[in-house]
Amino acid sequence: MTAVNAKAAEPRPLRQADLSGVQGVFTDVDGTLTTGHKLRSQTIRALEQLSASGLRVVLVSGRPAGWGEAWARQLPVDGVVVENGGLFFLKDARGKLRKVYLEPPAQRVANRQRLEQEVQRVLAQVPGARLSVDSRYTEVDLAVDYNEEARLGDEGASRIESLLRARGVTAVRSSVHVNCWLGRFDKLSASRRFAKVAWGEKLDPADGRYVYAGDSFNDAPMFQAFKLGVGVANVRAVLDRIDAPPAFITRAPEGRGFEELARALLARRRTVRSRGVST
């Protein structure tokens, strides 16, 4: 990751964000919804309240397709983008779950075969490096564990990223894994495609209708595009190295930070409605 200017990397407090026109929330999961790698009941309740208020909620994660399908079926969300944009899930008008890939089948097969070969070559060069346990449930990308069950630290993660990129593989960190893939997609391109397929609309992150919440390096494309990009407080750990910082930041870290964002959105929504303004 390239370093950014320290002054430019300092987000504004969440209280300064204009949330009056927000219609939905796109959010990362690990380190943003989770707290200490767990999903708190209070955070699930925040998702429920956002959905019940009429706000759209979409999860955007580096986690595998297998996780995404479970989330789409069981959580109060409108859809789930997984594998850093490789595919997404949504429910059609009849409530049937639909899976959409960003790339055609032949390209996915060829990319997957090459990706597995390239990743294995890199793993052999970094002591202690191994695929994440849940990589077996992926379809498009792979994940190297550096901070979930493995403890490779920033130095190990950076070396893995560097080696993979030298081999032409896209590699970027979440808070737990180095996600890697071949293909022209990321969280932002998949979110745009999701909005088109699910809602029939063009997603313009700069118009203030959607918030994005995240915490790590692989959220940079979203932070760069979204006028209302919000980092939960633990994003401070990477602000000096992330390619694009969020515009705003919560006081609390991880899931509690997301709950803080949810409270702000719900309060603003109540205020707008009390004034008789349509959202």
pLDDT tens, residue by residue, 159-202: 999 999 999 999 999 989 999 999 999 999 999 999 999 999 99
* pLDDT of 235 higher than 80: yes
Are residue 16 and residue 97 in the same domain, yes or no?
A: yes
Element (H, E) at 126: none
Q: How far is CA 149 from CA 125, 176, 243, in A?
A: 19, 9, 26
* pLDDT of 78 higher than 70: yes
Write down which residue in 157, 181, 205 finishes a domain.
Answer: 181
- Predicted structure pTM score: 0.92
Classify residue 7: in a domain, yes or no: no
Classify residue 6: in a domain, yes or no: no
Classify residue 77: in a domain, yes or no: yes
* pLDDT of 225 higher than 80: yes
* pLDDT of 276 higher than 80: no
pLDDT bucket at 271, cuts 50 / 70 / 90: confident
Domain CATH number, residue 117? 3.90.1070.10
* pLDDT of 148 higher than 60: yes
**Residue closest to 261 by CA, chosen among 275, 243, 247, 240:** 247
Classify residue 72: in a domain, yes or no: yes
Classify residue 4: in a domain, yes or no: no
171 φ/ψ angles, rounded to the nearest 5 degrees:
-140, 125
The pLDDT of residue 168: 96
Structural domain harbouring 131: 105-181
Domain CATH number, residue 193? 3.40.50.1000
The pLDDT of residue 277: 55
The 10s digit of each residue's pLDDT in 86-115 is 999 998 888 899 999 999 999 999 999 999
- 259 CB-contact burial (10 Å; exposed 0-12 / middle 13-18 / buried 19+): buried
| Mean pLDDT across 142-168 | 95
By DSSP bridging, strand 142-145 and strand 130-131 are antiparallel
Contact 121, 167 (CB under 8 A): yes
By DSSP bridging, strand 97-101 and strand 87-91 are antiparallel
Are residue 151 and residue 216 in the same domain, yes or no?
A: no
* pLDDT of 273 higher than 90: no
Are residue 240 and residue 134 in the same domain, yes or no?
A: no
Are residue 200 and residue 232 in the same domain, yes or no?
A: yes
Between CA 240 and CA 5 the distance in angstroms is: 7
**Token code pair at residue 116:** 């597995």
Classify residue 56: in a domain, yes or no: yes
Are residue 136 and residue 24 in the same domain, yes or no?
A: no
The pLDDT of residue 5: 43
* pLDDT of 145 higher than 90: yes
Are residue 177 and residue 195 in the same domain, yes or no?
A: no
Classify residue 1: in a domain, yes or no: no
The pLDDT of residue 9: 66
pLDDT bucket at 278, cuts 50 / 70 / 90: low
**What is the distance of C-alpha 72 from the center of its chain?**
15
To the nearest 5 percent, what fractions of the chain are helix, strand and coil? 40, 20, 40
Are residue 197 and residue 94 in the same domain, yes or no?
A: yes
Between CA 85 and CA 80 the distance in angstroms is: 10
**Token code pair at residue 244:** 């694009």
Classify residue 86: in a domain, yes or no: yes
Number of domains in the chain: 2
- Determine how many CB atoms are found less than 10 A away from the CB of residue 252: 16
Are residue 131 and residue 250 in the same domain, yes or no?
A: no
pLDDT bucket at 3, cuts 50 / 70 / 90: very low
The pLDDT of residue 49: 98
Write down which residue in 164, 181, 198 finishes a domain.
Answer: 181
Are residue 20 and residue 97 in the same domain, yes or no?
A: yes
Are residue 131 and residue 266 in the same domain, yes or no?
A: no
The pLDDT of residue 94: 86
Residues belonging to the chain: 279
Between CA 83 and CA 180 the distance in angstroms is: 9
Are residue 151 and residue 220 in the same domain, yes or no?
A: no
Write down which residue in 149, 181, 213 finishes a domain.
Answer: 181
